[in-house]
Amino acid sequence: MMLEKTKVKDLMTKDVLTVDCEEATVFAFEKLMKHKISAMPVLKDGKMVGIVTATDLGHDLILDNYQYGTKVKSAMARDVACVSSEDSIKDAVSVMFDKAPGDSIINQLPVVDDGELVGIISDGDIIKILKEYL
């Protein structure tokens, strides 16, 4: 089946939008909205240390849970599910379901090779390839 043969590297976005862990949450949220993306890997000294989502940041901003200047590092998820560029799309789909809480799915998976962030793959990327086979 094509999901087993297609590799993550064939579908992933290589030019990943990221945010520094010291950035203010409000600016991270603005960046997510401006680029119409749902999640961004968080970096510290060029290494991925977490991920922030538009849902989490937006929810807390609406509820006024942040003080002015609250940094991304205090809002990010630290336990991040990732895949390798050599993993199959089938593997990525499994991670999206198996590592998500409850009945949800993970929409964005950072792609990490040898400890380095090399891309990101989304559920939308995978749906595009499925459409070709329907």
CB 83 within 8 A of CB 109: yes
**Per-residue pLDDT for 119 more than 70?**
yes
CA 80/CA 95 separation, integer angstroms: 11
CATH code for the domain of 88: 3.10.580.10
Angle CA 133–86–28, to nearest 5: 90
pLDDT in tens, 82-103: 999 999 999 999 999 999 888 8
Q: Sorting pLDDT into bands at 50, 70 and 90, what band is 129?
A: confident
* Number of domains forming the structure of the chain: 1
- In terms of residue numbers, what domain contains 17? 2-132
Q: Which residue has the higher pLDDT, 85 or 63?
A: 85
